Chain A
């Protein structure tokens, strides 16, 4: 299938600083795709290049099979939801949403119908005559979203649109955004530095770092099979153990950690016996017990810290080589782990 968006070897540099470095990216139509990375990783620049607000230093950007690399923003069929919404303060909600439609030369009847339809989609029917200054943050967010969706863009670009909202509203909007994306069937390209946001909404996450794509895949794959230490650390909490490869195939690997043989699932990256690797242990997939656990990977340790978090307790366990592991313990299990000595084992290994 032809991708709706394709970046081919796109580089953007400002003087000596390279914001985006030889980026190759293909985005399928109808998907909720998130560019995730720390600030300065090039994700916003990538978005702005697709929007037409930055011209790549080199490379090509294709939109639905058409080269748009050098087209101005008003000549390409993508719309942005800006971080601070950028609603026009002198226009009411209806006129804000109608703005793009009017410029497409639609009849006032068609515009009215479309505006009403969109307001209904976000349950703001009674608000069409309000001005942006008379709306709450969440309502402004919805209006900005509808204004960008109104002209029926091929891709909707969202530039950290939830960062100005408080935590509760943000979670609510995440679910609503995903629902709107599914209902409209539009391709959403979402930019964020918040891994939780990315995991909640995305079909595909593109993790970016220093202007490059670190890894691209669905949330589950990224979480369970991170291909780099950066991805492992950026998405969720990770315990990292340095080990060496002994052998194995594409799915499972035999490793040696601190002289102890361990088995782990492979990430799919090619490696030779003897190569150094990092084992990623998610805190919630560590089993704890006061007695040695059955199976290969049982490791003795000492509990150094317990932090009660309500629905779980997070425990800091120091193991033989001095490294510390974070483990999440279910409330029903915590009482049995009263002493200092503990055995830990990766669950399911």
Chain B
């Protein structure tokens, strides 16, 4: 009895964890299960299992087009955010401590500004500069949102970098540009890769900014949103399951790669 009593906090800790785990997993599992159900409505028991909905999804031209569009935007966003993020991180480490605090706070602002506010302000901004809503505007919005994540990742790695690596490169005849591309950038590599994957996933996932800045061509979240308004269907479940599986795989693979690179 005594033993059980002393272990109570530990048991509570475990229970909390499992409660959280269920809370996270039950809705996802439900969605995944329903995507295999041979019926048009959400209900148990599943009864007849089927792959029909997946077949329908991969043959759905609108879905495939939305996927492609989302990936294109995500790629462009990631490229732009990486360049900007590394640039800002390099600037931050090159100034004095007070400047660092200010620059860092500014760089991180887009990550903490509510998506809605950011979206509205960006919408006002693009119409002010006469940029039509659509691809360019979406990329602009996503990039602003992605930059802080690249900055944080790059900065963490930069701060762990021995200062004399760049000195050594300069000493051996590299000017500062060559030193950056041949020493600093490869050193940032693994961390940067993690930041880029994060950027990619953020962009693919983004709804609010895209909604305000988008044109007629829907991205994946917008397509799913439009479909949901027409009523839940197992096809949406199948779409969502596919998106879930792909993003989780990419995320885990990226984590695996950066982990391996870091231990070297």
Residue of A nearest to B188 (CB): A90
A78 to B173, CA, bound (A): 10
A300 within 8 Å of B (CB atoms)? no
The contact string, 1 if C-beta is below 8 Å from chain B, for chain A 159-193, is 00000000000000000000000000000000000
Given contacts A84-B162, A90-B189, contact A74 B170 (CB under 8 A): yes
Query: Chain B residues near A131 (CB, 8 Å)?
Result: 264
Residue of A nearest to B168 (CB): A86
- On whether the beta carbons of A74 and B187 are closer than 8 Å, the reply is no
A37 within 8 Å of B (CB atoms)? no
Residue of B nearest to A99 (CB): B172
B52 within 8 Å of A (CB atoms)? no
A147 within 8 Å of B (CB atoms)? yes
B186 within 8 Å of A (CB atoms)? yes
B171 within 8 Å of A (CB atoms)? yes
B183 within 8 Å of A (CB atoms)? yes
The contact string, 1 if C-beta is below 8 Å from chain A, for chain B 35-66, is 00000000000000000000000000000000
A87 to B167, CA, bound (A): 11
Query: Chain A residues near B169 (CB, 8 Å)?
Result: 88, 99
Given contacts A84-B162, A133-B264, contact A100 B172 (CB under 8 A): yes
Residue of A nearest to B172 (CB): A100
A131 to B173, CA, bound (A): 22
Given contacts A90-B189, A131-B264, contact A100 B173 (CB under 8 A): yes
A86 to B175, CA, bound (A): 17
Given contacts A86-B164, A89-B187, A90-B189, contact A74 B171 (CB under 8 A): yes
- On whether the beta carbons of A151 and B264 are closer than 8 Å, the reply is no
Name B167's contact: one of A73, A90, A147 (CB within 8 Å). Answer: A73
A133 to B183, CA, bound (A): 16
Most buried by B among A74, A78, A79: A74
Query: Chain B residues near A52 (CB, 8 Å)?
Result: 170-171
A51 to B169, CA, bound (A): 12
Q: B: which residues have CB within 8 A of A?
A: 162, 164-165, 167-175, 178, 182-183, 186-187, 189, 264
Q: A: which residues have CB within 8 A of B?
A: 51-53, 72-74, 78-80, 82, 84, 86-90, 99-100, 103-104, 131, 133, 147-148, 151
28 contacting pairs across A/B (C-beta < 8 A): A53-B167, A72-B170, A73-B167, A73-B170, A73-B171, A74-B170, A74-B172, A79-B171, A79-B172, A80-B167, A80-B168, A82-B164, A86-B162, A86-B165, A86-B167, A88-B165, A88-B168, A89-B165, A89-B187, A89-B264, A90-B187, A99-B174, A100-B172, A100-B173, A103-B174, A103-B178, A104-B173, A147-B168
